Structure 1
Amino acid sequence: MIRREVSALVRLGPLPSEEDDSESDEKFKERTRLLHLIQPPVSDEEAQLLIRLFGVDNCFGLSWTLLHLVESAPSPVVTSPPAPGANQWLGMLWQRYHA
């Protein structure tokens, strides 16, 4: 079962870059609000959806919040080493699972 706040966050798409000034303040605030509404642990199914939201950078700390949510799932969501050039956050999850 996917919680409403997870679905709503996923609908907003990947986290924007810190350099991207095309996202409105309202959308960023909504994204932040939804991310903080999600209470861990997340389900494996939710984690699979949430890993699609990682952007190219830290997104003012939101990527770390997202990472910790994904890590709260019962099973590792990254099950093989990411390909060269894959999103850095997937690589970080892989490393943290195998540390």
Structure 2
Amino acid sequence: MRPEVEAFVAAGSLPDWEAGEEVIDRRVKQLEAISAPVTPDEAEALAACFGPDDCYGVAWSLLHLIETSPGPTPSVAPPGTDADEWHRTLWNRWGNHGHTDEDLTR
């Protein structure tokens, strides 16, 4: 995994809307330091970095970066009833290929 991806992942989840401007700016700069495409392993690690909201659009940039991963998509478990918006979005966009409706009800 590239150092810039490791740094982003090590910083944890994206902050919420109540975070200070300097915190959000730092995360944006970390995200912008990651060049596309990302590897499947990097995409899987980055997928764990979503926060509680869209962080003023930063979460959408993260999602689009994850989607640059070539080849097989990282494993994404079907979202449970308590899954957040980002888990559901990833599942709907690239995680549910090859699964049946029965898989979604487990």
Q: TM-score, normalised by structure 2?
A: 0.78
State, as a whole percentage, how many aligned pairs show the same letter: 38
Matches of 2:54 and 2:24 in 1, distance apart?
A: 14
Gaps of 5+ in 1: none
Name the counterpart of 1:4: 3
4+ residue stretches of structure 1 with deviation over 4 A? none
Gaps of 5+ in 2: 98-106
What are the equivalent positions in structure 2 for 1:68-79 lying under 5 Å apart? 68-74=64-70, 75-79=72-76
Larger Rg: 2
Matches of 1:27 and 1:36 in 2, distance apart?
A: 14
Name the counterpart of 2:54: 58
Residue pair 1:78, 1:94 contacting (<8 A) in 2 also: no
Task: Give the Å deviation of 1:81.
Answer: 2.0
Residue pair 1:78, 1:90 contacting (<8 A) in 2 also: no
Matches of 2:59 and 2:15 in 1, distance apart?
A: 10
Query: Which amino acid is the alignment partner of residue 47 of structure 1?
Result: A
Residue pair 1:81, 1:94 contacting (<8 A) in 2 also: yes
